[in-house]
C-alpha cells in the first residue's frame, strides 16, 4: 500500500537529510519510513514528524522503498510534499 502511494506520488523527497529539511520548512504532507533503518534515525524522524503533526507510515524494507522511488539503493525516508 505505502510503496504504491510513494510510486504514484508526484512530488517526493528521498533521504533523511532532505526529509528533515522539508519537515522543518513545513512542506511535508506525509512520510514513509523504513523499519529496517537505524533505530536512532527512525526515532528522530518520528519525533520531528509528531512535532509538525505530519502523518507517517512504517514500511518493512529500505530496499523496496528505494525501488518504489525509482532509485537503485535503499531509502530510509520518503516525504510526500505539498
Nearest to 34 by CA among 54, 15, 13, 10: 15
Dihedral over Cα of 44, 12, 4, 36: its sign:
negative
The pLDDT tens digits of the residues spanning 32-42 come to 999 999 999 99
Q: Are 61 and 2 in contact (CB under 8 A)?
A: no
Average pLDDT, the chain: 92
pLDDT along the chain (82 residues), means of 10: 79 94 94 95 95 95 93 94 88
pLDDT of residue 7: 82
pLDDT of residue 17: 95
Amino acid at each position: 500500500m505505502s510503496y504504491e502511494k510513494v510510486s504514484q506520488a508526484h512530488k517526493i523527497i528521498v533521504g533523511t537529510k532532505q526529509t528533515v529539511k522539508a519537515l522543518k520548512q513545513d512542506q511535508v504532507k506525509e512520510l514513509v519510513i523504513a523499519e529496517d533503518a537505524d533505530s536512532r534515525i527512525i526515532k528522530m524522524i518520528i519525533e520531528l514528524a509528531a512535532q509538525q503533526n505530519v502523518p507517517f507510515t512504517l514500511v518493512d524494507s529500505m530496499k523496496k522503498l528505494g525501488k518504489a522511488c525509482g532509485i537503485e539503493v535503499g531509502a530510509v525516508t520518503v516525504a510526500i510534499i505539498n
